[in-house]
Amino acid sequence: MTTTTTATTTAPLISKRAIIDWLGIAPFMIFALMFLVVPTLYLVTGAFLTPAGEFTLKNIADLFTPSILSAYWISIRVSVASSLGGALIGFFLAWAIVLGGVPSWVRSGLLTFSGVASNFAGVPLAFAFLATLGRTGLVTVFLRDWFGFNLYSTGFNLLSFFGLTITYMYFQIPLMVLILTPALDGLKREWREAAEILGASHWQYWRMVALPILWPSLLGTTLLLFANAFGAIATAYALTGSSLNIVPILLYAQIRGDVLHNPNLGYALALGMIVITGISNILYIWLRMRAERWQK
Amino acid sequence: MKAQRLGAWIAIAVGASYFIIPLLGTLEFSLRMRRGAYSFDAYQSVFSDIQFRETFGYSIIMALLTIVFGMLLVVPTAYWVRLRLPQVRPVVEFVTLLPLVIPAIVIVFGYLRLYNSSSILPLTGSTSGTNALLMFSYMTLSLPYMYRAVDTAMRAIDVRTLTEAAESLGAKWPTILFRCIFPNVMSGVLSGAFITFAIVMGEFTMAALLNRPAFGPYLQLVGANKAYEPSALAVIAFAITWLSMGLIQLVSRFQQSASPKA
């Protein structure tokens, strides 16, 4: 009761200021609702509705048909392979420039290049790999003319799971380098010295000190790379057309021409993508908060 | 220690060749159009293509509009959140990260259903409406980068003191915002602008699904129909990305050398 009275006596003053305060971010909130939140929620609710507008779980159940499951499975495999490969190579590169004792121009050069390459995705990246590893690409021709080695007779094909994976790694590795370099910079020299004084070998230092500190960064960034690859479409579409059936390409075809013959199943397909990228991003954010404990 | 340095150089050599060989391959392929000799024929063919000029121009205009409207949205919001609403900061930051969580193709799918010609707000019913929707979609895509760039620049200045100083000198809100806040966060605005430019120029999904004649869908079309031009276009696209990122580095270096004096 008392709270209500105080509220009414000071209400005009407080509410006027509060209204101005909230009006200040109203444009942003309206923008976010109109172009981010509502469109997404529309698809999410649509995934649980029949075309007639009644509640149903059939769309979700229909995701578990072989053709859609196989699309998810290829997508997950490509994303896992390219994120693990990107994380591994990216880790070694970050390690080399931070702890490998190389000159500083190598470090700044690699970091600048990583900034560019992590943004060099989409259609042009597909062209670059076609010109390099395609049937008449530079490396293919080089191997054939100089070593008599025919890449394509080994069953290699750029328009395949493996080809897509190494193409995606072109933007995955630089992203890993960019995120992991600060984490490696955060490894304090004192920790290593303390470990050495206590008689730890190089291997023991990494296994018992450095990696336990780094693992949230490593795992978190790998998850970020996974989500990054999972949502990407332009590179795959330009590289393979629609011959490789990954989820974003299936969704693209569905938006273009309702290939699933059920609009609401399309919404469920989109929901599946949001769930997968959402979970990996939430885990990434949580792991990054854990990692930051050591970076103070 | 010696083994470690050797390992580091091996890692860098492997990484560098993985990065550089596709670029060399693309460059070499783009010069191969004339039989038996290297030439710039592919580039000539690209530059003389009327569609190239049209889509390239369209994307540049879209990028500039996205930057202007994006900054008009992001800078006042970041300013206001720092000055008056620090308690909603986590919410705003979470919202700005959403475009990284929700795949672009899902977002545009939502637009197509929500703003189609039979809805309350039929943006896709007209060309100018679709253009506006495409610009909003680009603003959404670049939101995480723009917001972070501007917010980082704003952390370096004392927003409250600047505002109070301007107010006590009799400045009105537009003056405070455009003559006091904007110039002080210019480094953030510029780096946000360059990364937005790079994103918009290469974007494919949004423009293709909204059926607008942008550079990204044009690239895809050329890739499906021609042999040497795609490589020339990839070289051009890489140069644009490189230029944008180089300018960001330049701006941040400028800022670093300027800030100790300030």
Query: What is the pLDDT at residue B134?
Result: 96
Chain-centre distance for alpha carbon B215: 14
Q: Which of A63-72, A217-226, A266-275, B119-128 has the lowest mean pLDDT?
A: B119-128
Q: With contacts defined as CB-CB under 8 Å, which chain A residues touch B8?
A: 95-97, 99-102
Q: Percent of chain A, pLDDT > 90?
A: 35
Query: What is the pLDDT at residue A294?
Result: 66
Report the C-alpha gap between A219 and A293 in whole angstroms: 15
Token pair 């597909």 is found at A126
Containing B47, the helix (H) or strand (E) segment is: helix B41-47
pLDDT band for position A159 (50/70/90)?
confident
What letter represents residue B41's amino acid?
D
Q: Looking at CA atoms only, how far is residue B223 from chain A in angstroms?
A: 7
Query: What is the pLDDT at residue A48?
Result: 93
Rounded mean pLDDT, A196-205:
88
Inter-chain CB proximity B110 and A40 less than 8 Å: yes
With contact defined as beta carbons under 8 Å apart, do B215 and B154 qualify?
no
Instruction: Give, in words, the CATH class of A65-295.
Output: mainly alpha
What tokens appear for A146 in the block? 């100089």
Query: What is the pLDDT at residue A7?
Result: 45
**What is the rounded average pLDDT for all residues in chain B?**
89
B1 in contact with chain A, both atoms CB, cutoff 8 A: yes
> What are the residue boundaries of the structural domains of chain A, listed by start?
1-46, 65-295
Query: What is the pLDDT at residue A2?
Result: 42
Reported as a single tens digit per residue, the pLDDT across B136-167 is 999 999 999 999 999 989 988 888 888 999 99
Reported as a single tens digit per residue, the pLDDT across A105-134 is 889 889 888 888 888 888 999 999 999 988
Nearest CA in chain B to A29: B92
pLDDT band for position A17 (50/70/90)?
confident
pLDDT at residue A151 greater than cutoff 90: no
Give the HSE-up count for residue B113: Cα atoms under 13 Å, Cβ half-sphere: 23
Domains of chain B (ranges; CATH) run 39-256 (1.10.3720.10)
Minimal Cβ distance to B12: which of A38, A93, A123: A93
Q: With contacts defined as CB-CB under 8 Å, which chain A residues touch B110?
A: 38-40, 42-43, 270
Report the C-alpha gap between A153 and A256 in whole angstroms: 36
pLDDT at residue B179 greater than cutoff 60: yes
Query: What is the pLDDT at residue A80?
Result: 95
Assign A15 to helix, strand or coil: helix
pLDDT at residue A8 greater than cutoff 50: no
What tokens appear for B26 in the block? 């693309």
Inter-chain CB proximity B25 and A42 less than 8 Å: no
Rounded mean pLDDT, A208-212:
87
Tally Cβ neighbours within 10 Å of residue A8: 9
pTM: 0.88
Q: With contacts defined as CB-CB under 8 Å, which chain B residues touch A174?
A: 19
Reported as a single tens digit per residue, the pLDDT across B181-234 is 888 898 889 989 999 999 999 899 999 999 999 999 999 999 888 888 999 999
Inter-chain CB proximity A27 and B77 less than 8 Å: yes
Token pair 């918009």 is found at B200
* Structure ipTM: 0.88
Cα A106–Cα A111–Cα A115 angle in degrees, nearest 5: 150
Query: What is the pLDDT at residue A150?
Result: 82
What tokens appear for B29 in the block? 């392929």
Q: Looking at CA atoms only, how far is residue A47 from chain B in angstroms?
A: 12
Reported as a single tens digit per residue, the pLDDT across B23-68 is 999 999 999 888 888 889 899 999 999 999 999 999 999 999 999 9
With contact defined as beta carbons under 8 Å apart, do A66 and A250 qualify?
no
Inter-chain CB proximity A36 and B140 less than 8 Å: yes
- Rounded to 10 degrees, the C-alpha dihedral A262/A268/A274/A280 comes to -130
Minimal Cβ distance to B220: which of A96, A174, A237: A237
Q: Looking at CA atoms only, how far is residue B95 from chain A in angstroms?
A: 7
